[in-house]
Every structure is written in C-alpha cells, then in structure tokens.
Chains A and B, each alone.
Chain A
C-alpha cells in the first residue's frame, strides 16, 4: 500500500467538510419545513428543527399554497411522475430497437439512419424552443402528457449506449440462434433483451432523473394548473413582493420534489453509477 497512513484524518476532515457543504442547503430546507411561517420570518432563522414537519408536508400535499391557485402538491407530484416515467420508458422503448436494427442488420441507408440519430445529441430542446413549441401546438398537444414527453423522447445517448453494448455480444450467440432457426425477432426477445437488463436499469435511473428535472419544456408546454409539474409549480409558489411567500410550504414542496429522484438513485446506486460513467464515454 503506497498511501501514507500518518495523516489518515486529513481525507476524513476534507470529506466531512464536503458533506456539510453538500447537505447544508438541504438541511436548512428541512428546518424551514418543520416550523410555522412566523418562526422562519424572524431573522435570523433558527437552525434547530421544529415540530411541524408532518403538518407542513400534509398541508403542501393536500392544499399547496394559496398562490398556486390552491393546486395541491400531490397533483404536481403525479404529473412529474407520469412525465419522468413516460420519458424514461419511452426513450428505452424506441432506442433499444433502433440500436438493434443498426447493429444486427445490413441495409441501405444504415449509416445515414445512425447519423440522423447521432446528431440529435447536438440539438437539445433549449436551442430549438420556439419551432418545437409551434409543432406541438399544431399537433394540438399543448397541455397534454404527449406534448410534455414526446419531444424529449428521442435519445441519441440511449441509442449509442445500447449500440456499444450490442457490439460486445459474441458472434457465436448470433450463429447459434441462426442454427436453431431463430429469426431476428426471437433473438431480440429471447437473447438480447435479457442480456441488456443491467444496461436498461442503469439507463432507467439516468433518464428518470432527466425527465423528472425538466424545466424549460414543461414551462412552455403546460398552461393549465392541473398539468403543472412539481419542479415548475414551486416557482409559482414564491411570491413577488405583493404577498408574503409561505416559505414553510415552499421548502416542504422543495423536499418533496427532491425525494423521488433521490430515492431512485439510492435504491439503484450500483447500476446507476456504472451506467452513468459508461454512458458518457
């Protein structure tokens, strides 16, 4: 072992300082979400947790704040969940078959198809905002889950990752399948998809977080309060001077917005870390 053991406390000290920086904003949000509003407004705010955490969470979930036109956070959470699941499942569902087609077949225009998918890496929704908005409006998809998710579903990243993995599947497996009389569909369903389980799990976590955390697109495409996602809804809860912001509810909502993606990351950490580092290569 080459590392000097003399200063073994230094890494721990640095890491603990790092943890504190990372956790401090979340801790303060937790404290604020556990107090009544007057306790927060009394500057400087206390850093000792209060006793109203459950009550504030319940109020956020069932009623929200007066300023979000009384839209309860439960409805926003549901919208976010639908959006994140549809984006994650949709991206996997269309990119796995397309990667399979590009890797396991030879057909005219194959390279062109691959490049057409590949260059979408270079067109994030942020750079084609208004024309995409117009198309979604023409298709009458404003304020629908379809409009919220379809334009975000094409994913070069997922296709590239599947392609990379498919290239490592041994030729012998394909030959064996052919000898057994299995066609391309059988091979896809019986061999390739089961082999891809780990990759699918890793991608699911990354894409779920991507979908859940979307901001600009839902902001454009949803007008009706009943379609608001939680990441957007929180902005509407913060007042602009006329009325007092109900910070205890806002912070409870922020924690509720953080919780689902954090749980997904924690539960699937092993796959997710490997998938992330591989996906970006």
Chain B
C-alpha cells in the first residue's frame, strides 16, 4: 500500500530516518554480522589469535550431545508452554465471551499476569514449589508425591513450564477474546435456527473461524518460550538439575558468558537467528493469508 500524495525532497526523510537507522546498524547489523563472522572462527591453543575454521564450530555443535539434548529440551519445553498457555486462554475467552455481568472485572484480572516479568513469575512459582517451605510442595508431599525439583529433572521441567505458561495465558486470552468478538453474530444465529447446539456451534463455526488467531498465537507462544523465558530458567533451575532444563538461549548465554567459548556461542547464536527468521517468516506469510480471509 502506498500513499498518493507525498512531500518532495530527500534531506528531510534522511534526517527523520537517521536515528533509527543508526541504532539499527550499530546494535543490530553490526553484532549480527560479528556473530556470523565469529561463528566461522576459532581460537588457537593459547587464546591469543583467532583463525578461520569454516563450519567447524557448526560441526562441533551437531556432534555435541549436550547441544542436541538442549535442542530436544527446547522443542519439548516450547510446545508444552504454548499448549498449556493456549488451552486455558481459549477456554477462559470462550467463557468471558458468554458472561455479561462482571465481564469487565474478569477481563481486568485475567490481564494482570501480562504485566509480570517472566523472571518474577519464576520466583513466584519457585516459592510455591520450594521443597522445604512451598505451599504446593507441602500439598504434593501430603498426597504422597516425593517432590524435590532441585533433584528431579522432570519435576524441574514441569515447574519451569508452569511458570512460563502461567504468565502467557493473559496474552492468549486477550487475543482469543478479540477473535471471538469479531465473529458475526448472524452466523451463530443462523446455525442456532438450524438447531445446532451450543457445543456444535462452537466446533463447527467458532473454532474454525478462530483457527487463524490460534495459529498466530501458536507461533507467538513458541517464540516467547524460545527467547523470553531465559529469566524463568535462570531464576528457577539454572538449567539444572544435570542440564535437564537447559534451553538453547540459556546455553548460548552460559557457553559464551560463563564458559567463554565464543566460537561455539556465536555458532549457537547463528542457529537461533535462523530459527527466529523461519518462525517470523511463517508468521508473516500466514498473516498475509489472513488479510485475504477478512
């Protein structure tokens, strides 16, 4: 889409654009380029100079069982977070769409976790499930479950998934509610006149019409789980126990900043960039399609 009437001259737009372009070049393109360059270089034995090593860093990653494990962990974690944040979001949105009294109140309260930092969500859930003093840990133990997420990798994974998903329910709720309210009432009335039950109306009309929203949210949630949950992992488990919750972003940070293996960390950054670019491309392709629907 383009405007018909525009101003002439080029000095003015250059002045207007330059701050954003300057920040973009200095803090986006330059470091991204450095990451790519760094990823094909390795240090010598003394750490004094670097030399070109080609795809060695990537080959090392592909052969590193820890990295492959982190990949599998990230895939599982992201899908679990996305599904656990989407399903309650949809359920609550459908219910909030039905009520009249108190609708504004429900909406406001359900919105609150959106404002909470993932890292803080991690602290809140860590406190609930703290093996020695946590309220929910005590309840689990009373129920006969031996709860100690500091020792049990599966329990640690469950905890970070819960903390990360809890925070994201708000966002999904909001978008599903907006999606539901955009469905023309006449469609639902027509099918009600044809005798369709509320359940049938939901699965044959509402749910298919929400599919674009759901798909969009699925991508957004996966991106969130991939990148924005560093704070949850860093606060709650530090990737442990025994690397059971080490997601890719945590590993990039750990290998680069704590382990000082710059070549490997840069190669991991490049892999992550490829993942974000793929996910963003999927999202935008699909959004174009949605525009045609509407």
Contacts and interface: CB of A to CB of B under 8 A. Distances in A.
Nearest to B182: A277
B100 to A, nearest CB: 9
A123 B273 contact: yes
Contacts of B185: 2
Given A2-B189, A101-B12, A154-B24, A276 B174 contact: yes
A184 B230 CA distance: 44
Contacts of B231: 215-216, 231
A135 B9 CA distance: 34
A190 to B, nearest CB: 14
Interface residues of A, number: 103
Contacts of A254: 120, 123-124
Given A29-B124, A251-B127, A258-B116, A159 B20 contact: yes
B31 A265 contact: no
A150 B127 contact: no
A81 interface: no
B87 to A, nearest CB: 12
A22 B24 contact: no
Interface string A1-23: 01110001011101100110111
A261 B19 contact: no
Given A11-B99, A184-B7, A135 B30 contact: yes
Chain A interface, DSSP helix/strand/loop, else mixed: helix
A36 interface: no
Given A11-B96, A171-B5, A209 B115 contact: yes
Chain B interface, DSSP helix/strand/loop, else mixed: helix
A54 interface: no
B258 to A, nearest CB: 11
> Looking at B26, B123, B262, which has the most chain A CB atoms within 10 Å of its CB?
B123
A122 B92 contact: no
A57 interface: no
Interface string B143-170: 0000000000000000000000010011
Given A28-B128, A107-B10, A131 B109 contact: no
B interface bracket (residues with beta carbon within 8 Å of A): 35 or more
Contacts of B265: 129-130
A3 B118 CA distance: 37
Contact of B262 (A97, A98, A116, A130): A130
> Looking at A154, A175, A265, which has the most chain B CB atoms within 10 Å of its CB?
A154
7 contacts: A24-B128, A94-B23, A121-B280, A130-B257, A171-B4, A174-B3, A235-B123
Interface of B: 1, 3-10, 12-14, 16-17, 19-21, 23-35, 38, 88, 91-92, 95-96, 98-99, 102, 106, 108-121, 123-128, 132-133, 135, 138-139, 166, 169-170, 174-175, 178, 185, 188-189, 192, 198, 201, 216, 220, 227-228, 230-231, 234-235, 249, 252-253, 256-257, 262, 265-266, 269, 272-273, 276-277, 280, 287
Given A22-B169, A128-B273, A131-B38, 7 more contacts: A124-B276, A130-B35, A131-B30, A171-B5, A213-B116, A235-B119, A273-B111
